[in-house]
Amino acid sequence: MQNVLLWLFYITSFYAFIPGLISRLFGFRVFRRGKKEEQAFALTFDDGPDPVYTPQLLDLLQRFDAKATFFVVGVNAEKHPAILRRIHDEGHLIGIHNYVHKSNWFMRPATVRKQILCTEQIIREVTGDRAAYYRPPWGIVNLFDFAKSNGRRIVLWSSMFGDWRVRTGVDRLTRRMLQKLRGGEIMLLHDCGRTLGANADAPQNMLVALERVLIEAGRRGLRSVRIDELAGGAVEMNATHSEGWFKKVIVRSWLLYERAFHTLFRLEPANPQEPMLHFRRRKYKGQPVDFADGVSLVKGDDVLELHFDNERLYQIGSTAKTPMHVAIQMIRSVEKQLPDLAARLAADSQLEKVKAVYGVSMINRGAEKLGFMVRDLPSGLFASSSKLYLRLLLSVIHPSGQERLKRRSDVLVPKLIVMPVSVLTGRFLKNDSVGSGMTLNDHPLPEHPEEMGMGTASAQTVNSSTSTIA
């Protein structure tokens, strides 16, 4: 049961939770707001086209010379090609909202891709244009939405108003929209009320409120424009304006997530006073590993699964001045914890059957210097998802993450690291007052310390919650 729970936690985190968090909260690889100093905002409409309300909406937009973006559901567009053609002919932008209104969290990557391609084909056949913008239903993205964009830009929003519910009412909806009426805003509205959780008549209230908003927008000198026009300078703005707070907020969120992981799976620190390494006892589930003494680690053996304390690792990375400084601190910190781990193994009778300590990490050369064996992960879902996920987070957290990935993509790969208990206790178990059997001078730094996988805070910040082999 625990293994099932563990896998559910991993799959949910890798595939849905973390991608959704960093896109919705931090705007990673999505467009969700333009420049506030713009004299333009974007009206976006989801779930249509609708045979009753979309034509009324188009009439309203035409009266005010307003342009908008329609994220259409493929099955609706297929039923109403004349309305889709009118949207295009009147100068509005058409984007994709899947073929059916279903969350990407509950579909396989191949299914999501099929939904997008099918909707794009419908749009192309009717309008002759390719759909370059995509909004997943409910704004929910999965891991592969980032990796397989195929040139399409994911668009979310900066404000929504509950216009899909009739009980919101015209007056309240108007107030909410006027409060957000400003330059750079991306407003989420709906021209169809036939999706899950919506009221069929709700778009009628939206149309009345929108007319009031467009009148006020004209008074303020604000224009309603298409997403592609609003997005013109957004990338530059996001890159220059958000780097400092972006990194702080996303790291803080990741550390909160890690604490939840540690609590859920009852990880113990090797040294409670100075937690760097955490562990838990479990049965080994991976492929056999042969040790130098002729002993093999096989499925069912007791092992200690290692996890790094990302908060401590982030502190090291954020205070270090050079990659060499990072590497030295990392080696010393890990080396200092291994004697504590060896002592825990020697003193705890419940751990006497543990055969090895292991984990999955971006550490490679550095780990070998400490006595670990390094092995490639067997190909499969876990290996590929871990690799993609770790690189995704590295590109978010590290200020030059994309450059690092291009320059040293062969090094930034998660690997299995294993150390037999006999090696751990033989090299690191303290004897009386002698201290550890190794010092930093016993294992010199690699020629390129940044290639250890420990050379930046981000490389370790993304380590902890993937340090499991199931």
- At residue 337, what is the residue type? Q
Is 410 considered catalytic here? no
From 46, 47, 50, 163, the catalytic residue: 46
Query: Rounded CA gap, 209 and 295, in Å?
Result: 74
| Helices 381-397, 243-264: crossing angle, 10 deg rounding | 140
CA neighbor of 334 nearest in space, from 352, 309, 351: 309
CA neighbor of 156 nearest in space, from 38, 236, 250, 42: 42
Dihedral of CA 389/395/401/406: which sign?
positive
Spatial neighbors of 292 by CB under 8 A, at least 6 apart, are: none
From 80, 97, 101, 190, the catalytic residue: 190
CB 470 within 8 A of CB 285: yes
Spatial neighbors of 288 by CB under 8 A, at least 6 apart, are: 296, 297, 298, 299
Q: For 142-229, where are the E strands, in sequence order?
A: 153-154, 159-160, 186-190, 223-225
444 cis-preceded (ω within 30 degrees of 0)? no
C-alpha distance from residue 316 to each of 94, 124, 336, 460 (Å): 47, 52, 15, 10
Q: For 403-470, where are the E strands, in sequence order?
A: 415-420
Is 190 considered catalytic here? yes
C-alpha distance from residue 171 to each of 64, 349, 453 (Å): 21, 69, 56
Q: Which residues are catalytic?
A: 46, 190
